[in-house]
Amino acid sequence: MKIWIQALSQNPEQDPTWRAYDEACERHAPTVARPGTEIHFASADKRAPKMVISSYVKYLHLGQIIENAIHAEASGYDAFIIGGVGDLGYQELREAIDIPVLFIGETSFLVATLMGAQFAIINSDARSLKAATANAHRYGLADRLIPGAHVGRQQAEHFAMMSTDPKRAIAEFQTAAQGPINDGASLLIPGTAPISVFLAEQGVRDVDGVPVLDLHAAVIKSAEMMVDFRKLGIPKPRKGRALDVNKADVQLARKIYLS
């Protein structure tokens, strides 16, 4: 089994800011896959400022992600994972390729509902927490969600601290989690993939007995399951909202717009 994990962050050769995260994913992702599963981790070639908050910039960013997905399918990969919790390209990617596409945000939220009665998101700052919470609501999980919390740092500052002062970063995550735990959260979800892989590598599996979900483990194990389902003969859904599109439709559109 071959799984392609596509990060939304830029290749660290172009932007060294993402080097620690990229290297952490390269180390961690293979450790949670079953024996025989090959993991390929890829970052984006380009990333413009304001990508996480501008719909137009997200649209431009998505193009290179779709091209990588098409390349992954053509290269024999069995599943394609989007590593950004914002789940960019939720409809587009499922139309563009036939192999299973999994989104780390949606998958983690759904796995959380299997593991605990109610979960909470712990993020870097108020804006990123609001965005992750909106996604959970979009997936119909509002009644399973305890109001989350954030550590009070901008993402760039927070991610840098995870490399320069990991003990402090862990302590701030644990402190932020106290409110949701007191409100009844039975599972904690790191609000971004960099936070999750950092905590996993630091061995942080719980806060005061409340489990912390490893987002990469959740999405990789789910991808393996989806590939197993395909091998059992369960086909890709072809009907319903945004699914009445086949490969020929996609190929025709590519000829019209990209030639």
Instruction: Give the C-alpha separation, 60 to 199, whole Å.
Output: 31
Given this model, what pLDDT does residue 50 score?
85
pLDDT at 239 over 80: no
Q: How many C-beta neighbours within 10 Å does residue 234 have?
A: 10
Q: Structure tokens of 211? A: 């489990």
Whole-structure pTM value? 0.92
The stretch 53-65 carries a mean pLDDT of: 91
Q: What is the pLDDT of residues 153-189, one digit of tens each?
A: 998 899 999 999 999 999 999 999 999 999 999 999 9
Round to whole Å and give the CA distance between 245 and 51.
Answer: 28
**Domains of the chain, each with CATH number or no CATH:** 2-104+218-258 (3.40.50.1860), 106-214 (3.40.50.12500)
Label residue 236 by pLDDT band (50, 70, 90). confident
Measured in degrees and rounded to the nearest 5, phi and psi for residue 102 equal -125, 145
Which uninterrupted H or E stretch holds 69? helix 55-74
Q: What is residue 107's predicted lDDT score, i.e. its pLDDT? A: 97
Q: Give yes or no for residue 241 having a pLDDT over 70.
A: no
Which residues touch 201 (CB under 8 Å, ≥6 apart)?
24, 27, 28
**What is the band of 116 on the pLDDT scale with cuts at 50, 70, 90?**
confident
What's the mean pLDDT when you consider all of the chain?
92
pLDDT band per the 50, 70, 90 thresholds, residue 200:
very high
**What SS3 class is residue 65?**
helix
pLDDT for 9: 85
Read off the pLDDT of residues 3-41 as tens digits, 9 standing for 90 and up. 999 998 888 788 777 888 889 999 999 999 999 999 999
Q: What is the pLDDT of residues 82-104, one digit of tens each?
A: 988 899 999 899 999 999 999 99
Above pLDDT 90, what percent of the chain?
76
Going by the DSSP 8-state scheme, the letter that residue 12 receives in this structure is: T
Using DSSP's 3-state secondary structure scheme, residue 38 falls into strand
Q: Are strands 119-123 and 187-190 parallel, antiparallel or unpaired?
A: parallel
Whether 242 has a pLDDT exceeding 60, the answer reads: no
Amino acid (one-letter) located at 71: H
